[in-house]
Amino acid sequence: MAVPEKEGVAGRELTAQLEHDAHRAVAAEQKMSLWQGLKTYPHAVGWSILFSTALVMEGYDTTLLSSLYAYGPFQKQFGVKGADGEYQLTAAWQSGLSNGALVGEILGLMVNGIVAERLGYRKSIIGALMMCVAFIFIIFFSTSLPMLLVGEILVGIPWGVFQTVTTTYASEVCPVVLRPYLTTYVNLCWVFGQLIASGVLKAMEGRTDKWGYKIPFGLQWMWPVPLMIGVALAPESPWWLVRKERPEDARKALLRLTNAERDPDFNVDETLAMMRRTNEMEKEMLSGVSYWDCFKGSDLRRTEVVCVTWAIQTLCGSTFMGYSTYFFENAGLASSQSFTMSIVLYVMGALGTISSWLLMMKMGRRTLYLSGQAAMALLLFIIGLLGLTSPHNKAAQWAIGSMLLVYTFVYDATVGPVCYSLVSELPATRLRQKSVVLARNLYNIVGIITNILTPRMLNPTAWDWGGKTGFFWAGSCLLCFIWTYFRLPEPKGRTYAELDLLFEQKVPARKFKTTHVDPFTGESVTGNKEEATEHVEAIHDL
């Protein structure tokens, strides 16, 4: 049916106004400094930090479980007595318990990819927190390995929700300049959880009864209720509301996330126009928003990039850190020294994550990811060399411990935190939730494989490689470096609309940084950055 002329003119005028406002919002975001971003979006920073804090729970429990493998009361309750009279969990059960949570995460992730997009981020994370409260009971009252395994599988389901919702919420409530900091804060939450777990186990070190491991399990109940209250008061993601065709609610959410009075260049209606225009542009590019659409057209490349980027977190050898206490003990260090070294290791991780914020400002995501993998491959190779003598050389044992500390700092200054920024920025906004789910699930699948291999590499009742395991992960890290060089693009300073066009135009990964585009005209400029920026600003002023 033909559209009346009057309505057609009005529609074109509305589209033109939306286009104009979107241009102005893009220009304002690109010119926004870090200090301006903090002044304009202080509430977004606070709410994002609150959401991400849920991951402290996951970092706590995963580290707690792997550290308990080296804890006497836990070994006595769940392990088997060896020929030397010492109790040990078998390598098979170590793999099974560590993988139990990952299996649960895979289930939770796949369901959450659908549920979060339908119900929103707030309701999804509140539901996950309620599940945590229930499933921790199973872990706390476990008296056998099968019962503990069931508890780990079930508690992994809400963890899968935390992994996707926290990163996507952080990436959607803040402007370009704040995205890397709020998304990488997720990694700091992981490190905080690991540090707390190591500190709690250090405090339990003198206990010889079952409460030595039950108290650490029970402490997990201190997180969910305060977080549920905070999340219930938080605003929903404005991008999610725009995708649900609720622009007025999105505008209200933006007003709650910002303090527009502090920034004269910020205009909530123009920012909303940019979101709506980006959403419309993606609807034109995409045929749907299902998991299958992640593998169509330019989104196939985006799915590959985010999936492999997250898998690299495990393939670069980070499994060493999760088994740090167990590794230190089997490398010859006393139990007390092993727990102390693990605490120091996670302090180094926290310092590394904070350092990544400064490094990203100077180097960008791609360069930092590459340099981190190169440094880690070298450190792992050195650990492998030291492992050749560590069973008989006390100095070599401490040298391996020192190398692991340096490795942890490098990992948490580069690959660890930057991964969260990349996987939340690079997918299309309409497919972000499902893309992050697929990426995290590949990470979990790779994690299952490494959790089968690593205990066998380190366990004295299995392969007993000790420090020589570093050779294996050095080779894996080198392969990751090669993939990153050819396939990982640089999203620094890009709005989501710009990234859409760069992928749609099939710009090579190494040219993302120098190719400048106007997302709403489809025009691209390659060459000198200053000249290209002047060109884009001139278009915006029209």
At 120, list the tokens: 């929103």
Beta strands in 286-355 (DSSP E): none
Query: For residue 13, what pLDDT is reported?
Result: 54
Query: For residue 530, what pLDDT is reported?
Result: 46
Confidence of residue 92 (pLDDT cuts 50, 70, 90): confident
Query: Looking at residue 356, which CATH number applies to its domain?
Result: 1.20.1250.20
Query: For residue 515, what pLDDT is reported?
Result: 86
What does the alpha-carbon distance between residue 89 and residue 78 come to, in Å, rounded to a whole number? 7
Q: How many CA atoms lie within 13 A of 436 on its CB side?
A: 34
User: How many separate domains does the chain show?
Assistant: 1
Domain-embedded: residue 495? yes
Candidate from 1-10, 179-188, 414-423, 466-475 with smallest mean pLDDT? 1-10
Domain-embedded: residue 57? yes
Confidence of residue 330 (pLDDT cuts 50, 70, 90): low
Confidence of residue 324 (pLDDT cuts 50, 70, 90): low
The better pLDDT of the pair 236, 450 is held by 236
pTM: 0.80
What does the alpha-carbon distance between residue 508 and residue 492 come to, in Å, rounded to a whole number? 15
Query: For residue 80, what pLDDT is reported?
Result: 80
Q: Are residues 303 and 438 in contact, defined by beta-carbon separation less than 8 angstroms? A: yes
Candidate from 304-308, 409-413, 429-433, 521-525 with smallest mean pLDDT? 521-525
Domain-embedded: residue 105? yes
Q: Which helix (H) or strand (E) holds 517?
A: strand 515-518
Query: For residue 253, what pLDDT is reported?
Result: 94
What does the alpha-carbon distance between residue 280 and residue 296 come to, in Å, rounded to a whole number? 18
Candidate from 74-78, 149-153, 240-244 with smallest mean pLDDT? 74-78
The better pLDDT of the pair 536, 510 is held by 510
Report CA-CA distances (Å) from 514 to 93, 111, 533: 50, 38, 11
Domain-embedded: residue 122? yes
Angle at 437 between CA 434 and CA 440, to 5 degrees: 150
Query: For residue 286, what pLDDT is reported?
Result: 64
Q: Is the pLDDT of residue 171 over 90?
A: no
Residue range 13-49, pLDDT digits in tens:
556 777 777 878 878 887 888 888 899 999 999 999 9
The range of the structural domain enclosing residue 427 comes to 23-503
Domain-embedded: residue 488? yes
Rounding to the nearest 10 degrees, give the CA dihedral for residues 374, 356, 360, 239.
120
Q: Are residues 339 and 440 in contact, defined by beta-carbon separation less than 8 angstroms? A: no
At 31, list the tokens: 């010119």
Candidate from 322-326, 359-363, 524-528 with smallest mean pLDDT? 524-528
Query: For residue 390, what pLDDT is reported?
Result: 54
3-state secondary structure of 509: helix
Query: For residue 367, what pLDDT is reported?
Result: 93
Candidate from 17-31, 227-241, 349-363, 415-429 with smallest mean pLDDT? 17-31
Q: Are residues 512 and 530 in contact, defined by beta-carbon separation less than 8 angstroms? A: no
Domain-embedded: residue 328? yes
What does the alpha-carbon distance between residue 142 and residue 108 come to, in Å, rounded to a whole number? 22
Which residues touch 391 (CB under 8 Å, ≥6 apart)? 332, 466
Q: Is the pLDDT of residue 10 over 60?
A: no
- Rounded to a whole number, what is the distance in angstroms from the first to the last CA of the chain? 34
Strands 80-81 and 515-518: unpaired
